[in-house]
Structure 1
Amino acid sequence: MKHIWPIAVMALALAACEAPPSQEDAPFEPQYLGIETRLLEGDLVNFHVEMRGARKTRDIEDYARCAAAQYALIRGYGFAQHVRTQVEQREGLWMADAAYLISDALPKGVTNIDAEVTVAACRETNIPTV
C-alpha cells in the first residue's frame, strides 16, 4: 500500500500537464456573416468578408476565395488570381480584406483558382459565395 500513493500522485500530476483541447479539435461551426464586393479597377476586385467560429486564418481565407470564384463566374470569367489577403481577428470576429484579379483565361502564376471547380468545392463544404 505504501507505494500506491506516490503512483497516484504522479498520475494526477501527469493528467494536469495534458494540453487543453485545441481549437482545431472543437467542432467546426462557422457563422458566415457577409460578403462585400467592390470592383476596384478593370478586373481587380476587392472582397471584405466576416465570420465567427473560424479555427484558423485559412477558414476566413477560404470564405474570401469562394466569394471571388463565384464573382468571377457571375461576371462571365473562368478564373481568379489571388493578389493579397489581410486578416484581422477581434473578439472572435474574423475579417478578411482580399483582392483578386478575375480573368477569362488562365493567368500566369501559382495563385490562380479555377472558378467552377472552386465554387463546387465551396458548395460541398457549405461555404457561401456571393
Structure 2
Amino acid sequence: MADAASAAGAQMPEAGDEAPFDPKYQGIETRLLDGDLVSFNVRMRGARTGEDVSRYAECAAAQYTLIRGYGFARHVRTKVAETGGLWQADAVYTISESLPKGFKTIDAEVTTAACVESGIPTV
C-alpha cells in the first residue's frame, strides 16, 4: 500500500538533497580583551548550523591575527545562538607569534587563505 505522499503524486526529496547554502554575513566586531586575548562577535543569516557561524568567527580571528603581526591563534571558546534566523557567535582566541600549546590552534595565514577561497569574509 502506497503512502499518502506517493498516492498524491508528491515528490519526496532525494537522499542528499539540501537547500542551497546562501549565507549573508552581517558583520564582525573585534574587541581586544587583554594583551593577546581577543573577542570576535559575528552575525550572519542563512547558516546551516552553528558550525557555519563558528567558521565565520574563526576567519575573523585568523585575519585579525595577521593584521596584528602574529602568525597563530588558539581557540579558547565560542558561544553560538540563533534567534529568528539570525545566527550569532561570540568567540575568544589568543594570538601569538609562535604556535601556541593546545589542541585548537590555527595557522593564521593558511586559515585566512582558506576563508578567502571559500568566500567567507574576514576582518
Q: Which runs of 5+ in 2 are unaligned?
A: none
User: Among the aligned pairs, what percent are the same residue?
Assistant: 65
Counterpart CA distance in 1 for 2:56 and 2:32 is: 18
* Root mean square deviation of aligned Cα: 2.1
State the TM-score, normalizing by the size of structure 2: 0.90
Larger radius of gyration: 1
| 1:93 correspondence with 2:92 | no
Q: Secondary structure of 1:11's match?
A: coil
Question: Going by fraction, where is helix more abundant, 1 or 2?
Answer: 1
Extract structure 1 runs of 4+ deviating beyond 3 A. Answer: 12-16, 18-22
Query: Cα distance, 1:15 vs. partner?
Result: 3.7
Query: Cα distance, 1:19 vs. partner?
Result: 7.3
What residue number does 1:26 align with? 19
Write out per-residue CA displacement over residues 4-32 of structure 1, whole angstroms, 9 at most, x where no aligned residue: xxxxxx2243648x97689x810000000
Q: Which runs of 5+ in 1 are unaligned?
A: 1-9
**1:38-117 to 2 correspondence within 5 Å?**
38-117=31-110
How many residues matched?
A: 119
Question: Are residues 19 and 92 of structure 1, via their aligned partners in 2, closer, same or farther at CA, if it must alter by over 3 Å?
Answer: farther
State the TM-score, normalizing by the size of structure 1: 0.85
Counterpart CA distance in 2 for 1:21 and 1:82 is: 37
